[in-house]
Structure 1
Amino acid sequence: MASNYRFTEEECHTVHPDTLLRCMLSMTAVLPMAKVPTLQGPFETQIGKGQCGTVYTLGIGGLVKKTPNSISKIAELRRESQSHMSVLKAFYNAPEALSSKAQVPRLYALMSPPSSHTDDESPDERVDILSDYSYGIVSRRIFPLHDLIATALLESLVPTFSVRQRETCLSNPTNNNCLVRLYLGRRGVSRSKARAEDMNLRNFPLHVDEMERLCLPIPAYITTMAQSLALMHWKAGIDANDVEFVFGDSIQNSTDRDGHTVSVWLLDFNQCRRFSHDQAGLKQLVDALWWNDPYYPRPSSSNPQDRVWWNTFSSEYLDASSLLTDSKMPRQFIQVVEEEGKQLAQRDARMQVLGVTLTLGISGIALGMIPSFREAVTRYMGISAPGGVWRILAIFFALLSIKSLPFVWHFRVFKNLIWQFKLQPIPLAKSHLFAPVITTSHNSISECDYNFHKSNSTYFADLDVSRAAFVGVLLKKSLARLNSGDLTGLPEEAKTTKASYIVALGGVGCVFRKEIPPLAKFEVWTRLLSWDEKWIYLVSHIVKRGAKKPSNYFLQSWRNGKGGKKPMKEGEDKIKSIYATSIAKYVVKKGRLTIAPEIVLRRSDLLPERPANQPAIPTQVSDTPTPEGGEKPYMSSPENLVAQVMGQLRSENMFDKKEEAKVGEMTWKEVEAKRLRGLEIAQHFDGLTALHGEWNADDNVLGEYGDFFW
């Protein structure tokens, strides 16, 4: 529907309830004035009641009166009037940029305010609130939503209700004043067991997943809440504890008064308090947000979309706060809320695990008390048979050593290859060229040596798994294009060779730093180190699990925001988390023909454009044997090559000075500098190939020994 779309009388009764809600709650449509909210009516009709006071209509001027429920609530009601007035002043004097704030009911001092008062008056020009117990607080009424909207809410969000149940609910006098609460911080609440006689339309909760289903403008609601909260914090000076955001009819603010529209309203300030600008005040603001009903998005949710809504809210809140104060408290407020949200999410996760564990444990105990079940378990597991106990122990030990079982290594490697090559939907961008892939594992019992630490030889199996995942990410697009016939830039021999493209491991080395204890968890961080005219060099770091939590996961956006809270210090603190570091080199071949890494990486769209005056790395490598019969070195003189290119890098004309990169991407100069820095390290590993010539087969030996006794 277009903005300000007007429903006709006929459309009101034929339009689908979802469409009606989508238009009206998006605040882009008008319902005909089928039921005019009268400004004159019954005197002191109760329309609401809370823990502090009871709200009555005054029957004149569209006003309501909130009276204290007891003598002890008079002081609280007086504080509410002060907070309400502070919010009115703050919203009235808000910067023009904060135009999306919620509506606040006008506040009056008399039972019958002067007729000259208008909605456009400054709150300072109104008479002060009466504190007399017999009067209470007098303010503008938030008129209820149109009956058609109330009916659509039941039809759309409580589909289990029959027509009779809906009529029962709508005929309940307490449901004549329908207001809808905006719960952006709650989802997944079932209404399947709702009872018509218990349904309360006076405070109907609309949850964020229901808003998503109705395609409502959630970002607009978030902006409204964020700007309103910022104004209450930094303009009104209150903590906004227990305030409510509701949908209500905006007829009393309409200039044409010939139709019903919907607005977001702010109400209930009786729990609000002023706060100090120190750590105690910061805690007060954070507590107020968590204690309130879930109007605001929550950073503690495990749902990825909720994280998006929270990020939007925090950004809008900080933008609004920057217009109101120069203090650092708004950013500190968001940071503390996020930290507490993280702790709350971890606590919930632990409680879920504990709940599942207790459920399984209690179920196991209950089943174990059944004689027939015990007999069946004993019979099928063979415990009573000869060797039955040893069989159970063998299964238990196998589970502890699952990484060393036959074909488990194959599963771990091919799982990553299949996922990255076939199932991973997100392509890499140029900014991801040097980003690492993280794989996780643990040191199983069977991988320990006689010192009861992870055996040196087993590191390579975990490195294989990590490199398989990274190579799949790095070369997926390139190999797909090469195998589909994209031969641009390849030597002529590639066009005639019928062999398939393969990725081969040419060598691997590992430097150990400290031992890994039994059953300890660890991570393997693998990334691109460098490349030359033949080899692609990868570096892998085996580190303590959780030593560093990334803040961004390019291929797994649902993880974003779960890390980034554990900064790593420079120098020694960083090294202490490393168990071992490995380097490996890969080559892409078609038959005996080597495909230059630069061609491969460019096929993956990972390299920026090379400047015209930048010399290219050779892209044709001969595999013709040397006269001595050995393999031709792939870097004839690594030191000279690096020195030559580094010298060119430092020259003034090496790169185009006008070279620019897109936001988040590196320029060719930056990529080349990082490649050459890695190549300086790789050349030392590359020099180890000279050790092949150190095998002297004619020398005398000390002896020959087998693995076992033969």
Structure 2
Amino acid sequence: MRPPTRVHSEVTDDSKNDDTTPQLLGVLDSTAETAPARRQLGELERNLSHALSIHSVVSTSSSFAQRQAAAQLENKQPFTKIGAGACGAIFAQDGKSLVMKLAKTTGQDLWNDYSMHTLIFEKMRACKAEVQVPEPYFFVPHDNEDYFNKHATLLEAAKDICNFPTNVLVTERIIPLPQITRALLIEKYCVQHLQQAALTDRANRDCIVRVYLGSLKGRSGRRFFSLRNFKLHLNQLAELDMDLGTIASQMAKALAIMHWSAKTDARDVEFALGSSSHKVPVSPKSYAEISKMPPGSFTGPPSGLSEDFFHRTTELWLLDFNQVRSVTFDQGGVEQMIDAFKVNDPYFPRPLQDDQLAKTLWNQFVESYLRMAGSILVDHERQIQELPRRFLRGIINLEQSKAAGNQT
């Protein structure tokens, strides 16, 4: 029996009289009035829950942190491959929290990735979203010989993977989860006879965790285990008693921003738990402090580094924008959003589920989505303001059709 999970709701009794209540009719699932009692977590589950919780800070002396610090001190900038997708291969540079995505072809996919990434980054910042989006830095076209001549180490690292010349997108790196978190994931989900190999596998250092709130199909004990693109499904997250209501709410707000502020379909975007390093402020000393110092004093961090990889904060990140497309504010645009939701991996909660936790998270998702959409569209005409609810009804209709198909 799965333990009940913390689900934080932003909706109180006072909200029954606000403007969002009529919109909720017909899109909320019915749930039990009382939640089952919580059970005590074991030490492993308790430690893993803390490590994966959003905004938790982990101090680490892992080899990753040591490599990054050494690269900064020695000004070394080697590149290693840390992942690959449909759009391109991704390379990281030691000592800096940035990545370079190299296109597999010279088509427009990577430019669309750059364009939509920048648009969504700007809108998330403007709407003060809690979800983190890697900062898009710049795009390098395949015919920019000067850039590639200055980055010979990138060419060397990618020569057997990519065909040069090719386009490059440079963005902020999502720092992998620290070694202590990876060890807990391996202990919890990897079969015992594979655990030592998993601990020493260099590829497992590049670990971020995909969060599947719309799937209850997670299981342990697979014969193949990898922490790259590791997935935690709702049933597994529930075992850790994590604050899934907050995650559902953050996802909902992010989706509403992508739909109604960025005017996109959010197709094939991903949500993952990863780390961020502590970046030293550009001017860490106040004027009052500086005025008391002898001229020419060193005012940088004691370590001499611009980034502190030894203290990392767990965050929920939004990534992968190469398939995102613009939408219009009409029924055609809503249908495009619904189709994108349908084909995406199950990051978002789903309606009409038998599981009580899934029902509760869907309701949390709906409430947060409509609140954010309403605040964005407040100055639009009424027929535009009705589109977010029409989108949610479309998702419910999809689930109803799916259930009917399974019964035939």
Q: Is the pair's TM-score, using the shorter chain for normalization, greater than 0.5?
A: yes
Partner of 1:32: 59
Once the two structures are superposed, what CA deviation does each residue of 1:208-235 show, in whole Å capped at 9, x if it has no partner? 1111111000000011101111111111
Instruction: Determine if the alignment matches structure 1 residue 347 to structure 2 residue 376.
Output: no
Give, in angstroms, the shift of residue 331 of structure 1. Answer: 0.9
What amino acid is the match of 2:326?
R
Instruction: Determine if the alignment matches structure 1 residue 89 to structure 2 residue 84.
Output: no
Partner of 1:286: 338
Instruction: Determine if the alignment matches structure 1 residue 316 to structure 2 residue 349.
Output: no
Instruction: Determine if the alignment matches structure 1 residue 22 to structure 2 residue 80.
Output: no
Once the two structures are superposed, what CA deviation does each residue of 1:181-226 show, in whole Å capped at 9, x if it has no partner? 000000133223x12xx21211111111111111000000011101
Whole-Å separation in 1 of the counterparts to 2:43 and 2:326: 46
Whole-Å separation in 1 of the counterparts to 2:352 and 2:323: 24
Residues 371-382 of structure 1 mapped to structure 2, 5 A cutoff: none
Instruction: Determine if the alignment matches structure 1 residue 65 to structure 2 residue 111.
Output: no
Pair 1:135–1:68, CA change in 2 (3 A): closer
Give, in angstroms, the shift of residue 299 of structure 1. Answer: 1.2
Instruction: Determine if the alignment matches structure 1 residue 186 to structure 2 residue 238.
Output: no
Residues 584-663 of structure 1 mapped to structure 2, 5 A cutoff: none
Partner of 1:118: none
Once the two structures are superposed, what CA deviation does each residue of 1:642-665 show, in whole Å capped at 9, x if it has no partner? xxxxxxxxxxxxxxxxxxxxxxxx
Partner of 1:412: none
Give, in angstroms, the shift of residue 276 of structure 1. Answer: 1.5
Partner of 2:196: 167
The answer on whether the counterparts of 2:264 and 2:325 sit within 8 Å (CA) in structure 1 is yes
Whole-Å separation in 1 of the counterparts to 2:353 and 2:189: 22
What amino acid is the match of 2:98?
L
Partner of 1:658: none
Whole-Å separation in 1 of the counterparts to 2:279 and 2:338: 33
Instruction: Determine if the alignment matches structure 1 residue 223 to structure 2 residue 256.
Output: no
Whole-Å separation in 2 of the counterparts to 1:345 and 1:253: 48
Partner of 2:258: 232
Give, in angstroms, the shift of residue 60 of structure 1. Answer: 5.3
Once the two structures are superposed, what CA deviation does each residue of 1:417-449 show, in whole Å capped at 9, x if it has no partner? xxxxxxxxxxxxxxxxxxxxxxxxxxxxxxxxx
What amino acid is the match of 1:29?
S
Secondary structure class of the residue paired with 2:376: coil
Instruction: Determine if the alignment matches structure 1 residue 78 to structure 2 residue 111.
Output: yes
What amino acid is the match of 2:330?
D
What amino acid is the match of 1:156?
K
Instruction: Determine if the alignment matches structure 1 residue 153 to structure 2 residue 179.
Output: no
The answer on whether the counterparts of 1:234 and 1:324 sit within 8 Å (CA) in structure 2 is yes
Give, in angstroms, the shift of residue 31 of structure 1. Answer: 2.1
Whole-Å separation in 2 of the counterparts to 1:235 and 1:271: 18
Secondary structure class of the residue paired with 2:407: helix
Give, in angstroms, the shift of residue 105 of structure 1. Answer: 0.5
Give, in angstroms, the shift of residue 85 of structure 1. Answer: 0.6
The answer on whether the counterparts of 1:300 and 1:345 sit within 8 Å (CA) in structure 2 is no
Structure 1 residues not aligned, in runs of 5+: 1-14, 114-131, 351-710
Q: 1:301 aligns with which of 335, 350, 353?
A: 353
Instruction: Determine if the alignment matches structure 1 residue 264 to structure 2 residue 299.
Output: no
Give, in angstroms, the shift of residue 349 of structure 1. Answer: 3.2
Secondary structure class of the residue paired with 1:288: helix
The answer on whether the counterparts of 1:65 and 1:139 sit within 8 Å (CA) in structure 2 is yes
Give, in angstroms, the shift of residue 179 of structure 1. Answer: 0.6
Residues 412-451 of structure 1 mapped to structure 2, 5 A cutoff: none
Secondary structure class of the residue paired with 2:394: helix
Whole-Å separation in 2 of the counterparts to 1:104 and 1:292: 18
Whole-Å separation in 2 of the counterparts to 1:137 and 1:110: 5
What amino acid is the match of 1:320?
M
What amino acid is the match of 1:70?
T
Whole-Å separation in 1 of the counterparts to 2:355 and 2:407: 13
Pair 1:212–1:28, CA change in 2 (3 A): same
What amino acid is the match of 1:338?
I
- By relative contact order (CA 8 Å, sep 6+), the higher-ranking structure is 2
The answer on whether the counterparts of 2:270 and 2:319 sit within 8 Å (CA) in structure 1 is yes
The answer on whether the counterparts of 1:181 and 1:203 sit within 8 Å (CA) in structure 2 is yes
- What is the CA RMSD across the aligned residues, in angstroms? 2.4
Instruction: Determine if the alignment matches structure 1 residue 108 to structure 2 residue 137.
Output: yes
Partner of 2:21: none
Give, in angstroms, the shift of residue 43 of structure 1. Answer: 2.3
Whole-Å separation in 2 of the counterparts to 1:201 and 1:254: 29
Give, in angstroms, the shift of residue 70 of structure 1. Answer: 2.3
Whole-Å separation in 1 of the counterparts to 2:404 and 2:166: 50
Residues 193-212 of structure 1 mapped to structure 2, 5 A cutoff: 194-195=222-223, 198-212=224-238
The answer on whether the counterparts of 1:45 and 1:56 sit within 8 Å (CA) in structure 2 is yes
Q: 2:271 aligns with which of 223, 245, 255?
A: 245
Whole-Å separation in 2 of the counterparts to 1:214 and 1:60: 33
What amino acid is the match of 1:200?
S
Partner of 1:509: none
Give, in angstroms, the shift of residue 271 of structure 1. Answer: 0.6
What amino acid is the match of 1:107?
P
Q: How many residues align?
A: 306
Give, in angstroms, the shift of residue 135 of structure 1. Answer: 4.7
Partner of 1:337: 395
The answer on whether the counterparts of 1:182 and 1:245 sit within 8 Å (CA) in structure 2 is yes
Residues 336-485 of structure 1 mapped to structure 2, 5 A cutoff: 336-350=394-408
What amino acid is the match of 2:366?
S
Whole-Å separation in 1 of the counterparts to 2:246 and 2:79: 36
Structure 2 residues not aligned, in runs of 5+: 1-41, 141-145, 148-163, 282-306
Pair 1:239–1:213, CA change in 2 (3 A): same
Whole-Å separation in 2 of the counterparts to 1:315 and 1:179: 28
Query: What TM-score, normalized to structure 2?
Result: 0.70
Give, in angstroms, the shift of residue 269 of structure 1. Answer: 0.3
Whole-Å separation in 2 of the counterparts to 1:254 and 1:275: 39
Secondary structure class of the residue paired with 2:100: strand
Pair 1:134–1:28, CA change in 2 (3 A): closer
Give, in angstroms, the shift of residue 252 of structure 1. Answer: 4.6
The answer on whether the counterparts of 1:302 and 1:345 sit within 8 Å (CA) in structure 2 is no
Give, in angstroms, the shift of residue 42 of structure 1. Answer: 5.0
Once the two structures are superposed, what CA deviation does each residue of 1:121-172 show, in whole Å capped at 9, x if it has no partner? xxxxxxxxxxx954510011111001111111121234xx22x411112222
Once the two structures are superposed, what CA deviation does each residue of 1:337-381 show, in whole Å capped at 9, x if it has no partner? 11211221222233xxxxxxxxxxxxxxxxxxxxxxxxxxxxxxx
The higher radius of gyration belongs to 1
Secondary structure class of the residue paired with 1:65: strand
Whole-Å separation in 1 of the counterparts to 2:333 and 2:398: 16
Partner of 1:357: none
Residues 508-523 of structure 1 mapped to structure 2, 5 A cutoff: none
Whole-Å separation in 1 of the counterparts to 2:53 and 2:330: 39
The answer on whether the counterparts of 1:55 and 1:65 sit within 8 Å (CA) in structure 2 is yes
Partner of 2:292: none
Partner of 2:161: none
Give, in angstroms, the shift of residue 61 of structure 1. Answer: 2.9
Secondary structure class of the residue paired with 1:251: strand
The answer on whether the counterparts of 2:60 and 2:178 sit within 8 Å (CA) in structure 1 is no
What amino acid is the match of 2:134?
P
